[in-house]
Structure 1
Amino acid sequence: MEPSETTRYASLRARAVLVTGGGSGIGAALVRAFCEQGARVGFLDIAAAPSESLVRAIAGDGLPPPVFMPCDLRDIDALRQAVAAMKTAIGPISVLVNNAAHDERHDWADVTPAYWDERFAVNLRHQFFAAQAVIDDMKADGGGSIINFTSTSWMVGVGGMAAYTAAKSGVIGLTRSLARDLGPFGIRCNAVAPGWVMTERQVSLWLTPESEKRLLEDQCLKFKLVPEDMAPLTLFLAADDSRAITSQTFVADAGLL
């Protein structure tokens, strides 16, 4: 989607936005979209090379580049330190997009307690602690927006990834609880549930002619979702235009469910 085709939100200009997992895939599309809005954007990612490439690409397009800080979100102390450093770099955080995740496939019979805990650390635990780290900023500002990314995989009952789908279903409970707890401070918390989005990783690992055919047969809308399709909804939920919306889950799956 070209920037000119995206709604412009005056309330996002100069707003400090933090995106986790922003170096590639959906996260990279979100980082670019917020930069196009004129926000002060920072992102955390474990992979330095694609993250640094994204920063260069955005700067090369004449946009104010985002601030990248490497971070393994499984390490909560490192996460807290990175968020503190990001506040110094871009200012108090007004918008948090908890995007980072990893949908590793696994056989239920092979799952160990350590593997289960690691999958929850990658896909759920950091969302709470990232929110915890920015809430004081939002309270001081009189409000803010937290957007947690979940997945439709648990909604449709996908197999072969029980730890992932369990963690992603937990995102909904986390979102609703935070919305209730933080609403009195003007802080909104919503979830976005993408369908099967054709990131480079998805295409290289799992997309086949057969799976693509089944997907397009099952979706109401007959096109493949791309990372940029998740940006307009996320921008809306971050902007003041959605000030009356909280504790909701928005499915963006081209009508698969």
Structure 2
Amino acid sequence: MTTTFHDLKDTSVFITGGGNGIGAALTEGFLAQGAKVAFVGRSDASDFTAAMEATHGDRPLFIRCDITDTDTLHDAMAQAAKAHGPLNVLVNNAANDMRHDAMAITPDIWDDSQAVNFKAYFFACQKAAELMAPSGAIINFSSITYLMGAAGMAPYVSANAGIVGMTRALAREWGPKGIRVNAIAPGWVFTEKQETMWATPETKAAFLEKQCLKEHIQPTDMVGPTLFLASQASAMMTGQVMVVDAGVVHAG
């Protein structure tokens, strides 16, 4: 990452799922800008935070948290604001893209998926709006799966369509407060989880064929767009969905 967004220095940033995959790339991206980063996750991130401190001279604040527990999530966000000052940026990144045959989905599977992929997003936004003073930026990660109508992922696809609607509704409601709310819809980003659980040489080649740009998308490719939406470089952008998918889907 070579671009510097000078206004992000010393800002207070909170990231869900900031210790692995795309989230880890985002945590490092904000640290490189001089931001004060707090993040939550379910797994211990001590090694990652130590590595970030060794690289950037600043240790991100890790708070172990199950984001589906709203009270615990809100407490973690308040703890981050106490440590780093009023929240400037929220990045809703944590998600679970499990595959399910639609006919095999039970109410429990549906509810569990929405709890992670949608409900937690809204209540993180709600708390962020309380902690942001006097303004701030919220970036919600969606997915191009809702534009493609991806099969075998109905709960996840539904949640990501909902994230876009929620983003637009909150942008309208909170714009008068100076809070901007935007979304990023990535294509297939090859995190360690994707490589381990879903990707095969055949599926990767087939998806690459759909892309205009013939390179597989990496977690670091999400950093620049996120920093842009967090910074004043995008001061007049809100309620928008930025597609970062190497040209798979097109609007218009």
TM-score, with structure 2 as normaliser: 0.96
Find 1:134's aligned residue among 128, 134, 158.
128
Q: Are 1:40 and 2:36 an aligned pair?
A: yes
Q: 1:92 — aligned with what?
A: 86
Q: 1:233 — aligned with what?
A: 225
Report the alpha carbon displacement of residue 62 of structure 1 after superposing the two structures with TM: 3.5
1:187-235, CA deviations, whole angstroms, 9 ceiling, x for partnerless residues? 1000000000000010111111111211121100000000000000000
Q: 1:222 — aligned with what?
A: 214
Q: Secondary structure at the match of 1:125?
A: helix
Runs (4 or more) in structure 1 with deviation over 4 Å come to none
CA–CA separation in structure 2 for the residues paired with 1:62 and 1:97: 20
CA–CA separation in structure 2 for the residues paired with 1:52 and 1:201: 19
Q: Are 1:20 and 2:16 an aligned pair?
A: yes
Find 1:80's aligned residue among 59, 74, 97.
74
Q: 1:179 — aligned with what?
A: 171
Report the alpha carbon displacement of residue 70 of structure 1 after superposing the two structures with TM: 0.5
Contact 1:36 1:63 in 2 (8 A): no
Contact 1:42 1:67 in 2 (8 A): yes
Q: 1:52 — aligned with what?
A: 46
Amino acid at match of 1:9: F
Q: Secondary structure at the match of 1:60?
A: helix
Amino acid at match of 1:185: K
CA–CA separation in structure 1 for the residues paired with 2:119 and 2:78: 18
Report the alpha carbon displacement of residue 13 of structure 1 after superposing the two structures with TM: 0.4
1:10-67, CA deviations, whole angstroms, 9 ceiling, x for partnerless residues? 110000000001110000000000000000100011111xx22211111111431110
CA–CA separation in structure 2 for the residues paired with 1:123 and 1:226: 21
Amino acid at match of 2:82: T
Report the alpha carbon displacement of residue 175 of structure 1 after superposing the two structures with TM: 0.1
Sequence identity (%)? 46
Q: 2:151 — aligned with what?
A: 159
Report the alpha carbon displacement of residue 137 of structure 1 after superposing the two structures with TM: 2.7
Amino acid at match of 1:164: Y
CA–CA separation in structure 2 for the residues paired with 1:52 and 1:124: 27
Contact 2:81 2:131 in 1 (8 A): no
Contact 1:11 1:239 in 2 (8 A): yes
| Aligned-pair Cα RMSD in Å | 1.0
TM-score, with structure 1 as normaliser: 0.95
1:96-144, CA deviations, whole angstroms, 9 ceiling, x for partnerless residues? 0000101011111121112111100010111111111121232x32x11
- Residue ranges of structure 1 left out of the alignment (5+ in a row): none
Q: Are 1:114 and 2:108 an aligned pair?
A: yes
CA–CA separation in structure 1 for the residues paired with 2:223 and 2:171: 21
Q: Are 1:31 and 2:27 an aligned pair?
A: yes
Amino acid at match of 2:176: P
